[in-house]
Structure 1
Amino acid sequence: MKKCIAVLAMSWSFQACAVDFSGVYDCTGQDAHEGAYTGTVTMKLRPEHSHAADASYDFQLDVPNYGVYTGHAAVHGHHAAMHFALPAEQGEYGGKTHDFGTGIAAFKKNAKGQWTFRKFYFEPGFKGGNTGVEVCTRQA
């Protein structure tokens, strides 16, 4: 048992400082109900709510012909939880579409040295429930 605990402890790695993922990202996505789409994500670091490897962000996803989803992201190291929603005036909470959800993303650098992330998301109320995947690359 001691050997197992030691291996588990060594497998955990913690960063001393968070990477700043702020910027504008070009995205392509595949939504289970709506199909393929493109969009632009803007992430802005909230330094007053960020400490060591934990960072907080304002999050915005602009999808042409659907709307501007606003939200936030909580990041630890290279992994993020993201909440997004269409504002009430665009039909979100209490409206017809219930177009809001939560995603989980992993950040990494591509061959060109740009930050990218892949996000899986779940929307519990949109059309009886919905999922999708986005792949986003930070603009140079």
Structure 2
Amino acid sequence: MTLIALNKKCVFGFILIALMSYGRASDASVKKFSGTDYSGVYSCRGLDAKEREYTAKMQLEIQFRYSQGSYAAYRLSLDIPGQGSFIGHATSEADRMALHFTKTEKDTTEYGTGIAKMKRNKQGRWTFTNYFYSPEFQNGNMGFETCVREK
């Protein structure tokens, strides 16, 4: 084997090791999740400007892979009897949560964004009131829903 061929193999080997360790080195800057996990099934009661009062079930599921330090990422699903199902995502930091949702039916552009403050009720369960805005639903809609974790 010639010196040039050996050098090429060494350079390739160093590049390969550097690329493999790059992902590991960048992972060192990611902080382990240390915040509060708000995952669970929530029973909700809402009031919006167009549909009026409603009840719903919301499920929040933390995504540990995308959560770090006091910041958390969630998948969410929301079922409103007689109105449909929604999917979305949420992020939280400390006791604040931002939520985004969209209706699962393909023939609609119903979606919205909300903001909530988390707290424990007298029974020790997580609860929040979500203020939301849906710009496309019936030329715009807004409302509040209060949700309590079931277990």
Normalising TM by the smaller chain, what interval?
0.7 to 0.9
Q: Which of 64, 79, 104 in structure 1 is aligned with 2:115?
A: 104
Structure 1 residue 87: deviation in Å?
1.8
Deviation of 1:139 (Å): 0.4
Counterpart residue number, 1:137: 148
Corresponding residue of 1:3: none
Instruction: Give the TM-score normalised by the residue count of structure 2.
Output: 0.76
The equivalent residue for 1:47 is: 64
**1:120 aligns to 2:131 (yes or no):** yes
Q: CA deviation at 1:18?
A: 1.0
- SS of the residue corresponding to residue 59 of structure 2 reads strand
**C-alpha offsets along residues 39-97 of structure 1, whole Å, 9 cap, x if unaligned?**
000000000000011000001110001111000001111101100010243x32xxxxx
Q: TM-score, normalised by structure 1?
A: 0.82
Q: Report the CA distance between 1:99 and its aligned residue.
A: 1.4
List, as ranges, runs of 4+ consecutive aligned residues in structure 1 with deviation greater than 2 Å. Answer: none
Q: Which has the higher helix share?
A: 2
Q: 2:42 aligns with which of 15, 20, 25?
A: 25
Report SS of the residue matched to 2:138.
helix
Q: Which residue of 2 aligns with 1:62?
A: 79
Separation (CA, whole Å) in 2 of partners of 1:43 and 1:19? 13
Structure 1: which 5+ residue stretches go unaligned?
1-15, 93-97
Distance 1:69 1:78 in 2: 23
Report the Cα distance in structure 2 between the residues aligned to 1:29 and 1:88, rounded to whole angstroms. 21
The answer to whether residue 82 in structure 2 is matched with residue 71 in structure 1 is no
**Superposition RMSD on alpha carbons, in Å?**
1.1
Gaps of 5+ in 2: 1-32
> In 2, Cα distance between the equivalents of 1:67 and 1:51?
33
Local SS of the residue matching 1:33? coil
